[in-house]
A and B are shown apart, each in its own frame.
Chain A
Amino acid sequence: QITLKESGPTLVKPTQTLTLTCTFSGFSLSTSGVGVGWIRQPPGKALEWLALIYWDDDKRYSPSLKSRLTITKDTSKNRVVFTMTNMDPVDTATYYCAHEPYGSDAFDIWGQGTMVTVSS
């Protein structure tokens, strides 16, 4: 059974850097073709894809946010770490991590999400 869980701060100040950790079980990020992505959703709004890291350390970023994003993995600890710099109130959202199985180009298992508020 695949599970993912996001953790990190619930409140960050403007200009600060957000660091979120996705801890997962039921799969390995060393398995060929597997990926873990980050997606966010502002309150009452649509989903927005942010970043994704593959088993081979290939990384993909949203072009509009690329300069602010970093995604890394720790395969031995079953974790993916996501950072977003220069946080702004418009970045207030629920942040999800999700599993992408080989060949699907879609996210089949999602974490519960973590709400992050950006406010001074």
Chain B
Amino acid sequence: EIVMTQSPATLSVSPGERATLSCRASQSLSSNLAWYQQKPGQAPRLLIYGASTRATGIPARFSGSGSGTEFTLTISSLQSEDFAVYYCQQYNNWPPRYTFGQGTKLEIK
């Protein structure tokens, strides 16, 4: 079973600054990694898939990188609307399953 570990659990950053969120897999994933943003009371929103491809309508300040077991979501210049919880999600071919990380809460410093 693949375990996804996100760090840090909480990240405090000032608006306009850069935020870097990490996701580590217990086994190599190739590039089957996605990132989601979730605000209170809302459904998750897909940001990144395939480790580095932005989903439709996602601003360029969001970028994803990494492969294998180490992945990063970077938000280049934080806007007020970016403060939320972020989840990574992996897809494993066999046994076929999706696994989410435990989330990183991005809060205003």
Residue positions of A touching B, CB distance < 8 A: 37, 39, 46-49, 52, 60, 62-63, 96, 98, 104-113
Contacts and interface: CB of A to CB of B under 8 A. Distances in A.
Nearest to B100: A47
B15 interface: no
Interface string B85-99: 001010100011111
A49 to B, nearest CB: 4
B98 A37 contact: yes
A63 B95 contact: yes
A31 to B, nearest CB: 17
Nearest to B90: A105
A96 B87 CA distance: 15
Interface residues of B, number: 25
Given A104-B49, A106-B34, A108-B56, A49 B98 contact: yes
Interface in B37-96: 38, 43-46, 49-50, 55-56, 87, 89, 91, 95-96
B20 interface: no
Interface of B: 1, 32, 34, 36, 38, 43-46, 49-50, 55-56, 87, 89, 91, 95-103
Given A105-B49, A110-B44, A111-B43, A49 B100 contact: yes
Contact of B32 (A98, A105, A107): A105
